[in-house]
């Protein structure tokens, strides 16, 4: 039996696949539970909590451990064993001490301890009964893994066929692309960020709000925006309303929208010219149409990895292939000017619950605008 835990705050929009959930974190003696809202981040091994919160709840550092980032760098983090309560379950999980006011993150180890998996397209946590914790895997996963030769890389068409074949969950799993880059995101000229409208979308509709007034508001309403407004919409969002996945704005509104930065920014919803979400009034119909069809943002995370959903297992192989090719082409075209050495070091396809399939890099990049990767 599979149940789902919906996201408390939809946060797809400009950062497709990211969302937040609410749960409780306990004091060291479990006498106090405090509600937190954390970003689901499967790119992080352990959950990360702000130092200020851990200290307030009486936790102490249990040791400092080194971690290897995607680009090979070694960093060190202090760790603590912290009780979490998610739904009706209380379990102790390993937490990394983050900066005092950092955004809480719910990592992959914690999700496995609570028998949960993240679905980045549907933006929910999926509880899978029978998933074994930590390094142990269930029979279905092991059976799927046996179909994959881990010593080789696959051409794109073969990889797409294989991830569809090895998807075993009893829900429509998302198909995800994971890329390890040779970038160092500590440098401004090595930041990768861009958007693309996938030819076949993501398999779900998106709710779009538009910050506009006057003639621009009329255009947005006629183009099918789910909510349009100016000061009234800003106040509604400040009051806690976030039932949308994409936020667009006309340039004239950005002076007012800017005060929503602390609310929309961490959730990847803040309109930004770089992601084509700040547009001229006459361009609103196309921007709204593209957003509803499945515009995807790709960007490197703090470990120089790119995690992007590109469709559903229920898509045809041809549809997934076209989405994959378009996404790879866009990532190559947006290669940062400061990139050094090998730009793309590995490419992996996977599903929400299934094992990863490594792609052959030259075969995957053939036909793109790749120069030197």
pLDDT tens-digit readout, 287-311 = 998 888 777 888 888 788 898 888 8
Q: How confident is the model at residue 69 (pLDDT cuts 50, 70, 90)?
A: low
Task: State the pTM of this model.
Answer: 0.58
- Asked if residue 330 has pLDDT above 60, the reply is yes
Cβ atoms of 140 and 36 within 8 Å: the answer is: no
Weakest-pLDDT range from 1-15, 171-185, 244-258: 1-15
- Whether residue 209 has pLDDT greater than 90: yes
* Residue 57 scores a pLDDT above 70: yes
131 — pLDDT class (breaks 50, 70, 90): very low
Query: What tokens were used for 7?
Result: 């996201």
DSSP 308-336: EEEEETTS-HHHHHHHHHHHHHHHHHT--
Least confident of 6-15, 37-46, 70-79, 211-220: 6-15
Which whole number is the average pLDDT over 184-189?
87
Taking every pair of Cα atoms in the chain, the longest distance, rounded to a whole number of angstroms, is 60
The pLDDT, as a whole number, for residue 4 is 47
What's residue 354's pLDDT?
A: 87
Q: What is the pLDDT of residue 193?
A: 85
Q: How far apart are CA 64 and CA 73, in angstroms?
A: 16
pLDDT, mean of residues 17-34: 82
């Amino acid at each position: 039996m599979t149940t789902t835990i919906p996201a408390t705050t939809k946060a797809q929009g400009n950062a497709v696949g990211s969302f937040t959930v609410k749960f409780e974190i306990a004091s060291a003696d479990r006498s106090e539970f405090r509600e937190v809202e954390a970003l689901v981040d499967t790119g992080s091994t352990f959950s990360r909590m702000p130092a200020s919160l851990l200290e307030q709840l009486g936790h102490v550092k249990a040791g400092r451990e080194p971690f290897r980032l995607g680009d090979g760098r070694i960093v060190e983090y202090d760790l603590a064993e912290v009780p979490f309560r998610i739904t009706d379950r209380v379990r102790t999980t390993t937490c990394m001490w983050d900066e005092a006011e950092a955004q809480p993150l719910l990592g992959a180890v914690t999700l496995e301890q609570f028998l949960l998996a993240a679905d980045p397209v549907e933006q929910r946590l999926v509880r899978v009964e029978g998933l074994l914790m930590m390094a142990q895997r269930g029979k279905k996963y092991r059976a799927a893994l046996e179909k994959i030769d881990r010593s080789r890389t696959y051409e794109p068409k073969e990889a797409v066929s294989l991830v569809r074949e090895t998807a075993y969950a009893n829900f429509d799993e998302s198909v995800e692309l994971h890329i390890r880059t040779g970038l160092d995101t500590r440098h401004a000229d090595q930041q990768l960020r861009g958007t693309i409208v996938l030819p076949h979308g993501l398999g779900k509709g998106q709710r779009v709000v538009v910050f506009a007034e006057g003639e621009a508001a009329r255009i947005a309403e006629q183009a099918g925006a789910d909510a349009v407004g100016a000061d009234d919409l800003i106040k509604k969002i400040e009051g806690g309303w976030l039932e949308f996945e994409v936020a667009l704005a006309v340039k004239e509104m950005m002076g007012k929208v800017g005060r929503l930065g602390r609310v929309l920014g961490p959730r990847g919803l803040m309109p930004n010219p770089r992601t084509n979400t700040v547009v001229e009034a006459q361009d609103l119909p196309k921007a709204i149409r593209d957003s509803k069809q499945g515009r995807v943002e790709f960007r490197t995370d703090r470990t120089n990895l790119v995690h992007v959903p590109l469709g559903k297992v229920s898509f045809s192989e041809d549809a997934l292939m076209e989405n994959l090719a378009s996404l790879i082409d866009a990532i190559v075209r947006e290669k940062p000017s400061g990139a050094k050495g090998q730009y793309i070091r590995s490419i992996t396809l996977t599903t929400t619950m299934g094992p990863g399939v490594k792609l052959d890099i030259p075969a995957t990049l053939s036909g793109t605008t790749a120069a030197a990767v």
